Structure 1
Amino acid sequence: MKINSIGLSTEQSKTLAGDLNTLLANFQTYYQNLRGIHWNIKGRSFFDLHAKFEELYTDANLKVDMVAERILTLGGTPLHTFDDYTAASKVPVGRNVSKDEAAIRLIVDSLRELLLIERHILDASDEAGDEGTNAMMSDFITEQEKTVWMMKAWLAEQV
């Protein structure tokens, strides 16, 4: 087995970088969704949701950078074109979402997709002994599960 300069299997690192690129593409779609609902939200919940969506897109932007840098650390090249993101993304695209409930549902649906990808990466990084990627996914999952819970509470629904 060939080992890279950070002590991981080069083959497993390549696979993880590919999985992280899938996550990156999905995070970029999620980020754009958040920007769109931040800009377009209307109604009585405007002030609260406008601020919350800004908080979420700021966090998503940080995570995009973290994922891209982890891909580079593993020896990969981060995707960086909209065509690449569109081709690899499973997160639903929100177009002209301005109603509060639709916006919250878009966030929940988007996070469900991100969590599925992150759980897959968590398992793969554990198998590869890649603590850096594993810790990142664990942190992302913990934060996003809480966000889903809060969004579902806003919708008055069970997780």
Structure 2
Amino acid sequence: MTLNSIGLNPEKAKDLANDLNDLLANFQIYYQNLRGIHWNIKGKRFFDLHAKFEELYTDANVKVDEIAERILTLGETPLHTFEDYTSHGKVPVGKNISQDEKAVQLIVESLTELLKIERDILDKSGDANDEGTNSMMSDFITEQEKTVWMMKAWLS
């Protein structure tokens, strides 16, 4: 078996890049959801949530770039159109959400979907001996599980 320039099976690398493109598309939807709730949040918890949502969308923006760069590292092209994002979307789309509990629930639901995609990629990247993707997914999962826990604690 001939390996690619980073030592991976080319077919497995291509499959992982395709899965990462699904993740990228869904992260872009999540990011846009966060921007929307950041802009539109109202109520007595405005100041705390407005700042928290900005923290989350800033982090999501960094992760989008990391995912796209990993796709490029694997030798493929990252998705980059809204049409691509919506056609791959599994994350719920939040529209005109201004109520605090609905906004936080949207984050929980979005991260739940992202975690499913990431766990699938984690499994496949381990099988492909792709430590770069594996490490990225492991880090994302750890952070997002904590965020889900915190958001659910806030909701209770």
* TM-score normalized by the length of structure 2: 0.99
Distance 1:130 1:52 in 2: 33
1:89-100 aligned within 5 A: 89-100=89-100
Does residue 1:115 correspond to 2:115, yes or no?
yes
Runs of 4+ in 1 over 3 A off after TM superposition: none
Does the 8 Å CA contact 1:25/1:85 hold for their aligned counterparts? Answer: yes
- Secondary structure in 2 aligned to 1:42? coil
1:24-39 aligned within 5 A: 24-39=24-39
Distance 2:88 2:75 in 1: 20
What amino acid does structure 2 have at the position aligned with 1:21? N
Gaps in structure 1 of 5+ consecutive residues: none
Which residue does 2:143 correspond to in 1?
143
Distance 1:58 1:77 in 2: 23
User: What are the superposed Cα offsets for residues 52-105 of structure 1, whole Å, 9 maximum, x if unpaired?
Assistant: 000000000000000000000000100000000000010000000000000000
Which residue does 1:127 correspond to in 2?
127
Distance 1:47 1:154 in 2: 15
Percentage of pairs with the same residue: 77
What amino acid does structure 1 have at the position aligned with 2:57? Y
Gaps in structure 2 of 5+ consecutive residues: none
Distance 2:2 2:54 in 1: 44
**RMSD (Å) for aligned C-alpha atoms:** 0.4
Does the 8 Å CA contact 1:25/1:86 hold for their aligned counterparts? Answer: yes
> How many pairs were matched up?
156
1:15-94 aligned within 5 A: 15-94=15-94
What amino acid does structure 2 have at the position aligned with 1:74? L
What amino acid does structure 2 have at the position aligned with 1:107? I
Distance 1:93 1:138 in 2: 25
* TM-score normalized by the length of structure 1: 0.98
What is the deviation of 1:2? 2.9
What is the deviation of 1:137? 0.1
User: What are the superposed Cα offsets for residues 4-51 of structure 1, whole Å, 9 maximum, x if unpaired?
Assistant: 000000000000000000000000000000000000000000000000
